[in-house]
Amino acid sequence: MASKTLSEGGSTGARARAPRSSLRRQGWITGVMMVLPYTIFFLLFSLIPILYGFGVSFYDWSLLGDKTFVGLENYGNLMQDEEFRANLLHTVLFTVVSVPLITGFGLLLAVLVNGIRKGQAFLRISFFMPYVLSVSVISSIWVIFLQPYTGLFNQILRGIGLIDSEIFWLSDSTLAWVSIIMATVWWTIGFVFVLFLAGLQDIPESFYEAAGLEGASRWQTFRYITFPSLSRVTVLVVVLQTIASFKIFGQSKLITGGGPAGATKTVVFSIYENGFQTFQMGYASAIAFVLMLVILIISLLQTLLLRRFGE
């Protein structure tokens, strides 16, 4: 009798485990089916082209001609290419200047708008609106805006008495970069603003109430509550903007054409010229992978440093 009871209990436990195992298997299959479409697209349109491009970087290939394996020759030539080094320097300088400006102004706008109760939705839409425009539209607007004699920017500066003669923004190498940076900040600040605003609205109101009871000033509240609470958002913004700034091409191509005298050419500009003008596909691929490596290293270092700073 006892053995029969044990046997029935064992069979009941086995039956209980069977549905559980079946549910686990069904859940695993469902998860795989949900991930599969993205995985296929990622393999076809991202990973395989990246690996193919990396392979091309070891060849001398003029697109329409035969491919000749040259090993690391493209990378060796790249290290001796003065134009590439100059374009890399331009890209680094643009990144060093633009990222703090975009991050700082985005945070400032978010703090100001977060303190406004009426009309906040309108301001959010207004500041974010330029970001939805394409780079070609933004560049066209700023080219017209910065024209001498007829450009609105010079007229505004002349109207408030800051200048008494025309400024040729796109003809001087320094001013050309200033123009590109202004256009980029105006274009992308809305995205950073929205990220910081979302971070601000996630900070518990009790933190500010406690600071008010302690008699903290606005600066102390921002320094000891607001800014530390935004550390994760700040890391995200800085890393994303650094990657975007290193990939700058559209503004340089469409606003200044890389001029004057190549002063506003960037690394991606080098990829474009070598790949689509002189058709040196292997050399262009080598430049692309060096740029990817630089972006990867800088992004990792930024993430580590900013996280340590946030802690």
pLDDT computed for residue 20 by the predictor:
63
Q: What is the per-residue pLDDT for 6?
A: 45
> Does residue 68 sit in helix, strand or coil?
strand
pLDDT at 141 over 60: yes
pLDDT winner (highest mean) among 69-73, 86-90, 223-227, 296-300: 86-90
Q: Where are the alpha helices (DSSP H) in the chain?
A: 2-42, 48-56, 73-79, 82-114, 120-128, 135-145, 152-159, 173-201, 205-213, 218-221, 227-229, 231-246, 250-251, 267-276, 281-310
Q: Hey, is 147 helix, strand or coil? A: coil
Contacts of 76 (CB under 8 A, 6+ apart): none
Q: For the segment 39-92, what is each residue's pLDDT rounded down to a tens digit?
A: 898 888 888 988 898 898 998 888 777 788 888 899 999 888 899 999 999 999
For the chain, what is the radius of gyration of the CA atoms? 28
| Per-residue pLDDT, 102 | 95
Residues of the chain above pLDDT 90, percent: 39
Residue type, 179: S
Evaluate if residue 296 carries a pLDDT over 80: yes
pLDDT of 106 > 90? The answer is yes
Check whether 103 has a pLDDT greater than 90: yes
Give the Cβ contact number of residue 154 at 10 Å: 21
Q: Residues 112-136: what's their mean pLDDT?
A: 89
Question: Is the pTM of the predicted complex or chain greater than 0.75?
Answer: yes
Q: Which residues are within 8 A (CB) of 166 and not within 5 positions of it... i.e. 6 or more apart?
A: 148, 149, 154
pLDDT single digits (tens) 151-160: 888 898 888 8
Q: How far apart are CA 18 and CA 34, in angstroms?
A: 24
Tokens 């320097």 map to which residue?
89
Residue 29 has what pLDDT? 81
Euclidean distance between CA atoms 295 and 259, whole angstroms: 24
Q: Please, which pLDDT band fits residue 180 given cuts at 50, 70 and 90?
A: very high
How many angstroms separate the CA atoms of 81 and 265, rounded? 14
281: tokens are 């596909």
CATH architecture entry for 73-310: Orthogonal Bundle (1.10)
For the cut 80, the answer to whether the pLDDT of residue 185 exceeds it is: yes
Average pLDDT, the chain: 86
pLDDT tens track for 243-275:
999 999 999 999 999 989 889 999 999 999 998
Q: Which of 115-124, 136-145, 241-250, 302-311 has the lowest mean pLDDT?
A: 302-311
pLDDT bin (cut points 50, 70, 90) of residue 117 is: confident
Q: What is the DSSP letter of 130?
A: G
Residue 181: the pLDDT is: 95
Residues above pLDDT 70, as percent of the chain: 91
Residue 90 · residue 266 · CB < 8 Å: yes
pLDDT value of position 196: 94
- Token output for 214: 């302690």
Query: What is the pLDDT, as a whole number, of residue 251?
Result: 93
